[in-house]
Structure 1
Amino acid sequence: MNKKPLILVTNDDGISAPGIRTLISIMNEIGDVVVVAPNSPQSGMGHAITLDSTLFSEEVHFDDGPQKEYSCSGTPADCVKLAVRQILGRKPDLCVSGINHGSNASINVIYSGTMSAAIEAGIEGIPAIGFSLLDYSWNANFEASKTYVSTITKHVLERGIPEGIVLNVNIPNIEKDLIKGIKVCRQAKANWVEEFDKRKTPQGKDYYWLSGKFVNLDGGEDTDEWALANNFVAVVPTQFDLTAHDFIKDLNTWNLNE
């Protein structure tokens, strides 16, 4: 009898979000599931960790599934750290994060709490995947995501991921029969151009409201943004080594010690 893999599930939208509830149900068909997720939304937290305040965690029960669940007062990265060091007491066989309500393609990966949880798992040497659906609504329909989440997860468990790499998976917000398949991509050169709307409180104090627009500067047909716009599930192998290796040789010609 084959032993089921131990799968850690987390997210950044909070432990009660429909996206993580969907992800939990999918993972229950694949392995033994333990959930450690934020007790409130933590979107846009990036790789923040809790340093100067108390971290709390408690076992919770949202449904009758076989999974064990723990809410955490910290960030998504905190959840992974706490799971490995305290709750599980060992490294899981896989960490999956999401399903996020909204895109984590292109530059969004930098700000994403969903992907930061996956990256934190990767730093720990745990194979990890971040899943996102391009629908920011709390009532998003995750039905079309299920097959792709399951397929990619099973392939990762079977084949593994090289050390230092995690998968960033984004799923278009369309009906299942309109999705053309899965495309392995690179991260697009695309980003948000922010603006700050200056306003005043009733007491006359200035405050600022962040707004802006998303600009895709990349015309390549091998990017995550292209794949999503053309009804493919986008899979980007993402590394957390931020070294610009190609520039090291040139930088050494600067004679910085002179």
Structure 2
Amino acid sequence: MPKKPLILVTNDDGITAPGIRALIQTMNTIGDVVVVAPDSPQSGMGHAITLDSTLYLERVYIDEGKQIEYNCSGTPADCVKLAISEILDRRPDLCVSGINHGSNSSINVIYSGTMSAALEAGIEGIPSIGFSLLDYNWNANFEAAQYFAKTIVQNVLKNGLASGVVLNVNFPKLEQKDIKGVRICRQAKANWVEEFDKRISPQGKAYYWLTGKFVNLDHGEDTDEWALDNGYVSIVPVQFDLTAHYCIQNLNTWNFND
């Protein structure tokens, strides 16, 4: 009998978040599931790792299912590192991260703990996917995301991923019947226009809340933002090699010796 694929599940919203519980449920229908996820929310942590304090792992039993679960005191990237080094007895066939409560499309990918966990697994040569739903509500409906996540995972397990490539998947906030399909996209050129709301504490000290708005500067119809705005699931293949290869030839013409 063929061995079931070993699937590592993690996230950045914390191990009790409804999004990861939905993802665990779906992955249990595909393979053997091991969960290592933060014990508290770690949104916006990016690819932070813990260097100056101790890390803790604890076996937990949160809800029914055949998965094996641990919570971790560290970041999403820490969770993946510890899972590979300390928990798993063989390399996972796949790592999935999410389902995140909120978008990780466009520029959001660089801030995302969800995607950083997937990228950390990708660095280790493990096929990896980050999943996000465009709904910040803690009680969001994940049924459509679960349906498409299963299909995407099955395709990755069947076809594999190119070395150094991780999939960034975002789901629109729609019911399954209203989603038009899946689009392979590029990352839209967009950014946050940020402001800081300055206030004064009762002790007279200034403090700040980060605020701002998301601005899409890209009008292409091949982007993740266009796909999501038009009712599609977006898949963007991303890489952890940040080299701007197209600039190398030009930079080699510069004179650095004067």
* TM-score calculated relative to the size of structure 1: 0.99
SS at match of 1:197: strand
> Are 1:72 and 2:72 matched, yes or no?
yes
Q: CA offsets, 1:138-158, max 9 Å, x none?
A: 111101111100000000000
Aligned position for 1:214: 214
Aligned to 1:25: 25
Which residue does 1:62 correspond to in 2? 62
- Structure 2 SS opposite 1:236: strand
SS of the residue corresponding to residue 253 of structure 1 reads: coil
Matches within 5 A, 1:222-233: 222-233=222-233
Cα drift, residue 91 of structure 1: 1.7
Distance (whole Å) between structure 1 residues aligned to residue 82 and residue 146 of structure 2: 27
Structure 2 match to 1:154: 154
- Partner of 1:234 in structure 2? 234
Q: Which residue of 2 is the match for residue 136 of structure 1?
A: 136
1:107 is paired with a residue of what secondary structure?
helix
For residue 11 of structure 2, what is the aligned residue in structure 1? 11
Equivalent in the alignment of 1:252: 252
Aligned pairs for 1:24-173 (under 5 A) are 24-173=24-173
The amino acid across from 1:158 in the alignment is K
SS of the residue corresponding to residue 254 of structure 1 reads coil
Separation of aligned partners in 1, 2:164 and 2:77: 16
| Corresponding residue SS for 1:167 | strand
- In 2, distance between residues paired with 1:252 and 1:98? 41
Given that 1:83 and 1:89 are in contact with CA atoms closer than 8 Å, whether structure 2 keeps it comes out as no
Deviations 1:3-55 (A, max 9, x none): 10000000000000000000000000000000000000000000000000000
- Structure 1 residue ranges (4+ consecutive) displaced by more than 4 angstroms after TM superposition: none
Mapped to 1, the partners of 2:114 and 2:161 lie a distance apart of: 18
Taking only aligned residues, the RMSD between alpha carbons, in angstroms, comes to 0.6
Partner of 1:35, secondary structure, is: strand
Partner SS for 2:100: strand
CA–CA separation in structure 1 for the residues paired with 2:149 and 2:172: 13
1:147-197 Cα offsets, whole Å, 9 max, x none, are: 100000000000000110000000000111110000000000011110001
Taking the aligned partners of 2:202 and 2:52, their CA distance within structure 1 comes to: 32
Distance 1:187 1:85 in 2: 32
In 2: Cα distance, 1:141 partner to 1:55 partner: 33
Query: Does the 8 A contact of 1:93 with 1:127 survive in 2?
Result: yes
Q: For residue 155 of structure 1, give the secondary structure of its aligned residue in structure 2.
A: helix
The one-letter code sitting in structure 2 at the alignment partner of 1:239 is Q
Q: 1: distance between equivalents of 2:236 and 2:64?
A: 34
Identical positions, percent: 74
| Counterpart Cα distance in 2 of 1:6 and 1:174 | 30
- Supply the distance in 2 between the matched residues of 1:54 and 1:137 (Cα, whole angstroms): 32
| Deviation (angstroms), 1:256 | 1.5
| CA distance in structure 1 between the partners assigned to 2:191 and 2:177 by the alignment | 30
Measured in 2, the distance between the counterparts of 1:76 and 1:108 equals: 16
Provide the aligned length of Structure 1 versus Structure 2. 258
Distance, in Å, in 2 between the alignment partners of 1:104 and 1:32 is 27
Q: Name stretches of at least 5 consecutive residues in structure 1 with no aligned partner.
A: none
Deviation at 1:111, TM superposition (A): 0.2
Deviation for aligned residue 1:80: 0.2
Q: CA deviation at 1:64?
A: 2.2
* Counterpart amino acid of residue 98 in structure 2: G
Q: Secondary structure at the match of 2:214?
A: strand
Q: Give the Å deviation of 1:90.
A: 3.0
Match of 1:192 in 2: 192
